Structure 1
Amino acid sequence: MSSKKEKIEAPKIPAYLEPITLSDYELEDEQILTDGIFQDCEITNQTGYKVCFDRLRFTNTTFRGINLNKAEFTDVVFENCDLSNINLNESIFHRVIFHKCKLLGVDLSGSTLRNVVFDTCYADYAVLRFANAKLVKLMNSSFAKADFFSMNISSIIFEETNLDQTQFSQTKLGGIDLSSCDFESLGASLEDLQGCIISPMQAAVFASLFGLVVNRD
């Protein structure tokens, strides 16, 4: 369920971080990167298994051809970054902020998200199927046509976010407040939507999902 009483923890990052360049790190399996900042750079064609990112900041960084299966991100901030179409499946995110990022088609399937904020992000077609999300906030963002199939969600906030044609099948939305979000259709069953909070204007959209006609006279 969504609970605005539970506070999302912010990343715990030192005030000063040493600059890190790509030449300093060619990713290896189970490598640990910590206490640094990647800024105004492009990270390309990196592959790693269980790589750990701890107390890091990524600013104006573009990721291309990245495959990081089961990575772990703890106390990390991504700002003005492009993570489109990269593979981060089955990864762990704890105290992570994505601010003004492009995440078009990013693969976060099977991932665990705790204390994560997506703020002013473009994440259409993002894949979060089978993800486990708790204390997560999506705000002022677009997740249109994203795949939230069979997610386990609790204490999650959707605020002023585009969810048009987003897939929620087999994801329980009871207690989840979608009333401030934009959508013309959702991929969800009546069972999925049981107890979901919507606005009066959205009622007609939900009715149309099940073949009902709203008489506006």
Structure 2
Amino acid sequence: MSKKMLKIESPKIFPEELPVHMQLDMLQSNDFLEMKMFKNCVIDNQVANKVAFDKIIFKNVTFTETSLTKVELTDVIFEKCDLSNVDFGEAIIHRTKFEGCKMVGINLAGVTLRNVLFDSCIADYATFRSSSIKQVIIQDSSLCKSDFSFSKLQKFELYRSKIDLAQLSGTKLEGIDLSDCDFNGLGVGVEDLKGCIISREQAYIFVSMFGLILNE
């Protein structure tokens, strides 16, 4: 029986209304950008704090050497972008979609996520440590060796995603459904698993992880 998907708010943005840009000028801390589309370009060496993006689309954009700590993203779409190793630490991200993006090693530690979709993304080694995550869906994505330690998860759903060796220690998983995720091991404490939803096959993985012996 398939799970009923969580409903989240989509970005409130109309692509046909946005002027297309092939480059992004150097950002300064506290800058505000709105109603733009950046397409088929490289954005590099952007270092700023508390930049705000509102109603922005990034399409086929590669980010390199970029650190935008405490960035605010509202009604933003990243489509087929490379955000590997980007630093979005302590960001506030609302009504935002990451679709078909490469996000290996991205830093999202300490972020606040609300109504965010990660669809078909590669986010291995991504850091979500100590984050507040609510109304978030991750589907058809890879988050192997990612770090969700000491995060608060509410209305957080995973569908058909790889989370092998993800770190979840200190994160309460009550009500979180991992049953259709793919993993052979997780970094998690017994106390964190209370109320977590898993499949029968995954139960055997946890038996092995905690050194138990199953008598059949």
RMSD: 1.3
* 1:210 positional shift: 1.2
**Residue pairs, 1:95-174, within 5 angstroms:** 95-174=95-174
Q: Distance in 2 between matches of 1:181 and 1:26?
A: 40
Query: After TM superposition, what 4+ stretches of structure 1 lie above 3 angstroms from structure 2?
Result: 3-6
Aligned residue for 1:76?
76
Report the Cα distance in structure 2 between the residues aligned to 1:111 and 1:95, rounded to whole angstroms.
14
| Residue 61 of structure 1: aligned partner | 61
Task: Give the corresponding residue for 2:19.
Answer: 18
Taking the aligned partners of 1:16 and 1:182, their CA distance within structure 2 comes to 40
2-structure distance, mates of 1:126, 1:48: 21
What TM-score does the superposition give when structure 1 sets the normalisation length? 0.95
**Which whole-Å deviations, capped at 9, do the CAs of 1:65-95 have from their partners, x for residues lacking one?**
0011100000000000000001100001000
TM-score, normalised to structure 2, is 0.96
Aligned residue number for residue 92 of structure 1? 92
C-alpha distance after superposition, 1:156-201 (max 9, x if no partner): 0010010100000000001100000000000000001111000011
Is this contact kept in 2: 1:4–1:157, CA < 8 A? Answer: no
When the two structures are aligned, how many residues end up with a matched partner?
213
* Equivalence for 1:50: 50
Q: What do the CA deviations read for 1:40-69 (whole angstroms, capped 9, x no partner)? A: 000000011100010010000000000111
Structure 2: which amino acid aligns with 1:152? Answer: K
Q: Which amino acid aligns with 1:69?
A: T
Match for 2:208: what amino acid?
S
Deviates most, 148-157 or 3-12: 3-12
Shift of 1:22: 2.2
Task: Tell whether the 8 Å contact from 2:72 to 2:93 is kept in structure 1 after alignment.
Answer: yes
Query: What amino acid does structure 1 have at the position aligned with 2:103?
Result: L
Shift of 1:147: 0.6
What's 2:183 paired with? 183
Q: Secondary structure at the match of 2:155?
A: strand
> Which runs of no fewer than 5 residues in structure 2 stay unpaired?
none
Distance 1:4 1:72, change over 3 A: farther
Please state if 1:40 is matched with 2:3.
no
Contact 1:10-1:96 at 8 Å conserved across structures: yes
- AA at the equivalent of 1:209: M
Q: Which has the higher contact order (CA 8 A, sep 6+)?
A: 1
Structure 2: distance between partners of 1:6 and 1:141: 17
Query: What's the offset of the Cα at 1:5?
Result: 7.1
Percent sequence identity is 46
